[in-house]
Each structure stands twice: as structure tokens, then as C-alpha cells.
Amino acid sequence: MKLVTAVIKPHKWEDVREALETFGVTGMTVSEVSGYGRQKGHTEVYRGAEYDIALVPKIRIEIVVDNDDADDVVGIIVKTAQTGRIGDGKVWVSPVETVVRVRTGDRDEAAL
């Protein structure tokens, strides 16, 4: 099993979700995070005092997948989330030893 973690631009979330669903990914876990990188934040002004907001809102997606699917899933995310502009995000893959479905206690492939 692999864990695919993707950090993408928030407005791409809906597209990515659809593309993954079409591919057959049935579940994922999503959170709102802040990104720090080449894409710089923005500036806000309050009573003449300027604030640099260093962080950029991003969406973080975690998907546990079969070993075989990992590459495809990464490919789909990269393709769908790409805008070509700085800040599109990263996707990384890490090993998972086991996964369990809480409802049934099923393990690994059966748990997805």
C-alpha cells in the first residue's frame, strides 16, 4: 500500500476530486493547510501598517492506494491540478504497511 499526499491549489480541489473519482478512487481525506514556497503570499494594510502574509492557502489530500495504483493516482493529480503557474504544489508517495477499515476491521486492499 502507498500513501499519496498531494498539496494543491484550493480551486483545483473539485476538479481533482472528479478526476480521481472517475479513475476509481473511492475515498480520501482532505484538509486545509498553509503553503510556504516559491509562490509568495500577499500584503495587507491596516491603518497604514503593512503586513506580509507569508502563507498561501492550500488543500492537502491524503489517499491510501494499492501499490499498483500509486503512479496513476499521482499522474492524475499532477495533470488535473496543473495550471503551470508557481504554487501548483507537490505530490509525494510514501510506503504504508497496513490499512484497516474501522467499520469492518477489513485490512489492506479490502479496506479501501
| Interaction site with ligand ADP (CB under 6 A) | 7, 27-29, 35-39, 56, 58, 62-64, 86-90, 101, 103, 112
100: number of Cβ within 10 Å = 12
13 phi/psi in degrees, rounded to 5: -55, -50
Minimum CB separation of residue 19 from its own copies in Å reads 13
Does 24 interact with another protein (rule: CB under 8 A)? Answer: no
Q: CB under 5 to 8 A by kind: which of another protein, its own copies, ligand ADP, none does 50 bind?
A: another protein
In our burial notation (b when 16+ CB lie closer than 10 A, e otherwise), range 42-72 reads eeeeeeeeeeeeeebebbbbebbbeeebbeb
To which residue does cell 503593512 refer? 50
Site for its own copies in 21-50 (CB under 8 A): 26-38
CB count in 10 Å sphere of residue 80 = 18
Residues that bind its own copies (CB under 8 A): 1-3, 5-8, 17, 26-38, 54-55, 58, 60, 62, 64, 74, 77-78, 81-103, 105, 111
